[in-house]
A and B are shown apart, each in its own frame.
Chain A
Amino acid sequence: MGKYSIGEFEEIVLLTVAVLYESAYGIAIKEDIETRLKRSVSVGAMRIALKRLEKKGFLTSEFGEATAVRGGKRKRYFKVTPFGKKALEEAMAARQQLWEAIPSVAFDFKFI
């Protein structure tokens, strides 16, 4: 992991931001995670994860245009940075490496 420290939920959020590409803002990310992964996400938990990811430099964000809905508040769109992408790759590689290291008999669940 080293310098790309990333938690499980953070990883999911970061991946989802990448999935949504240009339309990744709060509610869209929340709903995407909820429909894809069938887990409920609170606005608070997600917002904190986004904030932390941004602080770590994995994400950047900017405001969109104001609209009449949402009480006239602007949306904040998120984008994965190259550094974020690296973190994701690192995480995946780490897993891959671990998977490959598993001896084949470990998952050999036969009736004994």
Chain B
Amino acid sequence: MSNKPTEKPIPSPPKWLLAFLHWFCDPDLLEDVEGDLVELFEQRVTNTPRKARWLFAFDVVKLFRPGIIKTNEFFKTQNNNAMLFNHVKMAIRHALRYKGYTVLNLFGLIVGLTSSILILLWVNDEVEKDQFHVNAGRIYQVWRNMYQANGEVITTGSIPGPLGGALTNNYPEVDEVTYYSWELELLFRLDESVSYEKGRYVSPEFFSIFSFPFAAGDPASALNDPHSVVISEKLAKKYFGESWKTDALSKVIKIDESQEFTVSGVFEDVGSQSSMTFDFLLPAHEYIARNEWIRSWFNGGFSIYFTVKPGADLVAVQQRIEQEINNNTDNAADERLMVLKATDTYLHSNFKNAVPSGGRIQYVRILTIIAIFLLVISCINFMNLSTARASRRTKEIGVRKVLGAQRRTLGQQFLVESFMITIVAVLLSIGLVLLIVPYFNGLTDKQLYLDFTDSRFWMGISALIAVTGLLSGSYPALLLPSFKVTNSLKGAVRQSASSIYFRNGLVVFQFALSIILIIGSLVVARQMNFVLNKNLGLDKENMAYLYMPQDLTNRRDVYKTELLNIPEVKEVSFASGNPLSYGRSTGSSQWDGKDPNAEIEVNVLMVDLGFFSSMGMEIADGRDFSKDFASDTANYIINEVMADIMGFDEPVGENLSVWGMKGKVIGIVKNFHMQSLYEPVAPLIVRYSPPYTSVALIRLQNDIPKGIAGIEEVTTALSPGFPFQYEFLDASYAASYRTEMTLSTLVNIFAVVSIFISCLGLFGLSSFSADQRSREIGIRKVHGASVTGLVILLSKDYSRLMIVAFLLAAPVAWYYMQEWLNGFAFRTDLTLSAFMLAGFTAFVVGALTVSVKSYQAASVNPTRTLKDE
């Protein structure tokens, strides 16, 4: 009741709801009703904004009732609307009269729509990734392209540290710059609570570039102090209990048992909408101060992100930055920088020849296409059933026409029918999606949900209704009213050949899509099997590995001896990196006769004795490292790829140096895969230098759990206070293909769904035609036809359709699956068997569906079918 204008803007209720109110509300009532609603909203919004919006929506919906809805123009005056009501009434009556047909139609649509909505939720989540940053439009990431001697380009996000300073100082277009490190796993200790946490180094500007809201502390200054740490709410709760909001700030946490950091902020847990993940953040300048190597133009370091000033010329930045490394390193190697939008990198993370070439975007595309397929397949069901059944309704159409119905009105009637069915199906599908979403989330490892307060959700649903309704209703609406009155009243409508062709064409199309999906799922599954069971050149079964804390690396030999005393431990060795990634690489390797200008990026692995035998790798030539040769600490073993690059006929015995350390090649190890199978095997140099090893690789035998328990005992005895953590090599390997496995499962499921929907349609069609031909079947039986003969007669036409569908689907599937497989450096071939199996499955399932009804029709006693009339 206050009349004074308020200073600060009051939040306004959702615009689209107001628009909805304006649309339906009686204009006489509108002004004060709207005012009342807004007033209520304003009262509620200060305390509980979310609830206020919900209640507002609820109120608006409750107003949608007779008495409030405007009456004059919309419902009364126009004859069109009266007709519309009539159509709705007819549609309801018709749906109830032919229940079986309605259920079949609804069921097919619901299955198709539910699958499509689920997929679109997934796709939307992928596309929306990282878009929540307020600056999303002007955040860029720097990438480094390393041009190799063999013409390949290796692209990496690890950038020499000095570029950060160069961007800030020399580029007027650049607003703010931040480093973003690799993932660290550090030991956190606060009094008695100790555990490993994952996080990263970033610059203080990180929080003004990216939008990660704070729950406590000031984001602008949180990381200014080199001994500050910012932690997630999750960690805050873990270390400071429920009263973390007051307790966490300015407390000191000991990290890696060496340094102490003060908690200067708590950020809200990083949600699934972000592709960046971390539980804590440390100031990058602290790390840079301690590490000389990262201050050099010659080493790749952190990732670098920056914002450009609004309206600044990005192209200028791109042009100048390209040669920045080469200018500062005197062209030591050809390394060029490029700048890409940061929010795009989640979906486009693969590079080929210095340009983005796919990544998750491929899966987004594949699943979008599947969603469209499923929707189209279920719409076709609807079209086919309603046109096939048209002869049932010819009399109705005839009578309506005689009474003066125009074509247009009849068309409208069929459209209304299809829309009503669609709306019911969409509503039921939304319910079904709500039920299924938790399982779907478990499957895809996401947190999807339906946001009913989001206007875009409703827009999406409306679009889905419009598309489905039009797609399924337009053909019947065009075809059915075109029947001639006289024929339809006589009940003798012969459907034209073209409409039958069209219907058959649609069935072929449906099954072709299903067959493509089946072939796809078979090929993907085969490739997954291939990847997971490929001979990697090393034995990944029963291999546990763990990162050794300082206490253990200091006493490697004792640790090894103690481990080997456990009966379940077969072999133990140490290496410098996680077995799934080498961890180190260099362009500095030298050998006699190497082209001085050629840059070759080589991976380097440091190991101790027994590494090759415990990993199950094979020495192809030369010998393994041995403690009998004191000089072996200066020697190298290389893999076959590296041997090829060096180009000697007999590489064993040649000189080789890495990081300036000279030695000789003493052996060649057979190629083994430690990285993704998307990549070919990379050149590798292995050096015998135990002091640099920090990963323990333990081969177990017999009773694995007992072995792990034994390892835990030994480990905790030697390094008390460190939590015991280990992983299995085969599990980590499988986990790195999780996206592909998920895709594989999804494609499998949706392939089954698509064939199921197609069969529903086929079932409807075949039962209908069996019904129509019941008298023909009766006469044939009277003349002595056998049931088998009749089933074959009735199924024959459909079988032919299946074969045509297969012939159409096979080349399309072949082309696209070959494209997908080409992304893998190591892949299976497309085999004929996958195609045969897919065709066979579709054929058998289709034939079975048709013959069920055909058999029923054929086994009816002819007296029953022939006695009417």
Contact = CB atoms under 8 A, between A and B. Distances in A.
A27 interface: yes
Interface stretch (B58-66, B282-290, B770-778): B58-66
Interface in A2-42: 23, 25-28, 30, 42
A47 B35 contact: no
Interface in B32-62: 32-40, 42, 59, 62
B316 interface: no
B62 A47 contact: no
Interface in A45-96: 45, 47-48, 51-52, 63, 65, 67-71, 73-76
A67 B3 contact: yes
B63 A70 contact: no
Interface string B1-45: 111111000101100000000000000010111111111101000
Contact of A42 (B13, B29, B39, B59): B59
A26 B1 CA distance: 12
Nearest to B63: A44
A44 B38 CA distance: 14
A23 B2 CA distance: 12
B67 A51 contact: yes
A27 B40 CA distance: 7
A24 B34 CA distance: 16
A26 B67 contact: no
Given A69-B42, A70-B39, A71-B12, A44 B6 contact: no
Contact of B59 (A43, A48, A71, A75): A43
A76 B31 contact: yes
Contact of B6 (A23, A26, A47, A69): A69
B138 to A, nearest CB: 34
B29 to A, nearest CB: 6
Contacts of B12: 71
Contact of B36 (A27, A45, A52): A27
Report, as a range, how many residues of chain B touch the other chain.
Answer: 20 to 34
Contacts of B29: 47, 51
Contacts of B39: 26-27, 69-70
B68 interface: yes
Contact of A26 (B5, B32, B68): B32
Contacts, number: 77
B10 A69 contact: yes
Contacts of B65: 44, 48
B717 to A, nearest CB: 67
A65 B32 contact: no
A23 to B, nearest CB: 7
Contact of A44 (B4, B42, B62): B62
A67 B2 contact: yes
A65 B38 contact: no
B40 A43 contact: yes
A54 to B, nearest CB: 10
B38 A71 contact: yes
B32 A73 contact: yes
A38 B38 CA distance: 23
A74 B5 contact: no
A21 B272 CA distance: 55
A25 B5 contact: no
Contacts of B40: 27, 43
B31 A74 contact: yes
B3 A44 contact: no
A69 B36 contact: no
Given A44-B68, A47-B68, A65-B3, A73 B63 contact: no
Contact of B2 (A27, A69, A73): A69
Contacts of B33: 26, 43, 47
Most A C-beta atoms less than 10 A away, residue of B2, B35, B65: B35
A26 B63 CA distance: 14
Nearest to A48: B67
A43 B63 contact: yes
A38 B168 CA distance: 65
Contacts of A25: 32, 36
Contacts of A52: 67
Interface in B61-100: 62-63, 65, 67-68
Nearest to B36: A26
28 contacts: A26-B33, A27-B39, A30-B36, A42-B62, A43-B36, A43-B37, A43-B40, A43-B62, A44-B62, A44-B65, A44-B68, A47-B33, A47-B63, A48-B65, A48-B67, A51-B29, A51-B67, A52-B67, A63-B31, A67-B2, A68-B4, A69-B6, A69-B10, A69-B38, A70-B38, A71-B34, A71-B35, A74-B31
Interface of A: 23, 25-28, 30, 42-45, 47-48, 51-52, 63, 65, 67-71, 73-76
Given A26-B33, A70-B36, 18 more contacts: A25-B32, A25-B36, A26-B36, A27-B36, A27-B40, A42-B59, A42-B62, A43-B33, A44-B62, A44-B65, A48-B65, A51-B29, A67-B3, A68-B6, A69-B10, A73-B31, A73-B38, A75-B32
